[in-house]
Structure 1
């Protein structure tokens, strides 16, 4: 399934949960709708990442490197070491 199909299924399940009324079936349908909505988001993100990668590749370029943020623990340790020096 792709992101759009997951989203459609989430909409169907959400609509069903509203028409069932308050019962275990309604809760199950609402929960399943939430799962499908989450899967739609994950699939859309993966599709966008693949599109970006393919776009760079088609233009003969490499994806820019992702710089990871320094962790708070590493910053605190560096600050403590600088203070003690």
Structure 2
């Protein structure tokens, strides 16, 4: 199982992982995908989520998703389908 860092995986010197993996998500709608990821992080019971949420909020991550939906990039509505 992979773990999640507060930094992008493209970061040369990323922080150590803080939160357990939430799974692999995919969508043709980038806004729906980001909203689903945000929702899964916020609803997680993992105590390490606080570090990731702090980073998301310090970078206005939720506002970015809201703005993208407002300008028509995609929709914040989604349906999670498990394909185990």
> When the two structures are superposed, what TM-score results if normalisation uses the length of structure 2?
0.31
The structure with more radius of gyration: 1
Q: Could you state the TM-score of these two structures normalised by the residue count of structure 1? A: 0.31
Give the structure with the larger strand fraction.
2
